Chains A and B, each alone.
Chain A
């Protein structure tokens, strides 16, 4: 009670406007001088920059800078010419950007898939993977697993099945490709930031930046990434001229590649190649940001399964069951 009374007591003018004494003034000046000279010392590199002793990028401690559109155009023209020189086919390389309000997601109907591998071969036809034999699936982004009915046990899955006809009795089939994880272990593993997630959810690789350490391959729980052990050999007649800088342009030797949901197609509004050829319509692709899209219908109405959900990758690829 007495406290509050004390506090309410009006202050005298001397108390509220404290005149600056000589001592306080000198103390303040000295302190601010020290501070300012420290700041100026920190800004010394700017003087050096003015004199031309260092460049702007040295100053920013950033030893690379973002590629300008003109530089990108030059790079792409060079890549197109290189493809023409090395493979005899003149491609059109684009650099399609993520679209506003679009996030891609994929769903695959495990009840429908019959394991015919048409998706895996269409992937080759679309994405210019290195292969001497056009039907060599080793670099395909899709692995079709054959599993025993009753559980989803990928440990005993078999991707080398060579049956007369599919589906075989008591088996079911699960194609696995890049899940475009929202929490992607591969992008975290990359020591040089050569792989990252784009705004529409696609995890991409800059093949010009990749150093080929393969850490991302070790990090991926879905075996989604492939490595170019040698300079890709592709017969000219199977080269797809519709190419994109971040997806299916022909890769150099010693870099990692992966499924990009065919972004050279999907960012132009089309469906991915694997979906276009599926004979049973097991594949559903769309914009997850659009509430009316097919993919949202599945997430709302079907029994959805996430492969290796327990590893916390939060993928954009879903499996579902039907009747």
Chain B
């Protein structure tokens, strides 16, 4: 009889304690949810990327001149110049810096339009405007063009998340010289320093191991 009574007391006590515990938990979580600052009103800080060298590997002089409001009308001269279709060995006054080294292409007019030198030429003689230069390259480099369109050939800059900002996609000629498209070898940046202790340990057997 006595044990039943003590049981009742214990039960009541534990019920009390349990509810108090739950209440304290609730109270704690309430305090949390009430005092959270509203993140949506806080504006995300904007940082520039001036510490990164993001400029395209290659300057596009012609198009840049055009952007600087030069007329850059090729036909001003080319209407007076003979058709170079069958003779490109004698580049005369203007383009002597161009040395064509682009696969099998040996003629200017493989890419440049014979009648309108301001545009490029398609297989059927149609004009490809200057700003669609990627379409000109796509004439021969179909798979590369496909990859470029998918965003896996050539560098992309900016935002991967379209909802946050724009993505900048470099075009063919911002990396490749169209007259000599192979990448020129470049000077690598500074290598890591060889760990001092390892260098000393290696002294007897010669300087840092280089495998050739």
**A positions within 8 Å CB-CB of B:** 29, 33, 36-37, 39-40, 43, 46-47, 49-50, 56, 68-70, 73, 92, 94, 99, 107, 109, 114-118, 120-122, 125-126, 135-138, 140, 143, 148, 156-167, 238, 240-242, 266, 268-271, 273, 275-281, 283-287, 293-294, 297-298, 301-302, 322-323
Contacts and interface: CB of A to CB of B under 8 A. Distances in A.
B175 A280 contact: yes
B206 interface: no
Contact of A164 (B3, B187, B191): B187
B186 A37 contact: no
A176 to B, nearest CB: 12
A122 B53 contact: yes
Shortest Cβ-Cβ A-B pairs, 10 listed? A269-B164, A269-B161, A281-B155, A165-B185, A137-B192, A242-B47, A294-B151, A281-B154, A117-B189, A46-B17
A278 B47 contact: no
Contacts of A114: 183, 185-186
B24 interface: yes
Nearest to A137: B192
B45 interface: yes
Given A33-B3, A279-B57, A116 B189 contact: yes
22 contacts: A40-B10, A40-B13, A40-B14, A43-B18, A49-B17, A69-B37, A114-B186, A116-B186, A117-B191, A135-B189, A138-B193, A158-B210, A159-B192, A160-B194, A242-B45, A269-B159, A269-B164, A273-B49, A277-B52, A277-B53, A281-B156, A297-B151
Contacts of A143: 192
Given A114-B183, A116-B188, A279-B186, A161 B210 contact: yes
Contact of A161 (B32, B161, B187, B188): B188
Interface residues of B, number: 61
A271 B157 contact: yes
Interface of B is mostly: loop
B183 A280 contact: yes
A160 B191 contact: yes
B188 A137 contact: no
Interface of B: 3-4, 7, 10-11, 13-14, 17-18, 20-21, 24, 28, 32, 35-37, 44-45, 47, 49, 51-54, 57, 143, 147, 150-161, 163-165, 170, 175, 183, 185-195, 208-211
B185 A276 contact: no
Contacts of B186: 114, 116, 165-166, 279
B52 A125 contact: yes
A277 B44 CA distance: 24
Max chain A CB contacts within 10 Å: which of B47, B183, B195? B47
A323 B193 contact: no
Given A46-B18, A46-B21, A280-B175, A269 B209 contact: no
A323 B47 CA distance: 37
A122 B52 CA distance: 6
A298 B191 contact: no
Given A118-B53, A238-B51, A276-B49, 19 more contacts: A47-B17, A68-B32, A68-B35, A69-B35, A99-B161, A115-B188, A126-B51, A126-B52, A160-B192, A161-B210, A165-B186, A165-B187, A165-B188, A167-B185, A270-B159, A271-B156, A276-B54, A280-B183, A281-B154
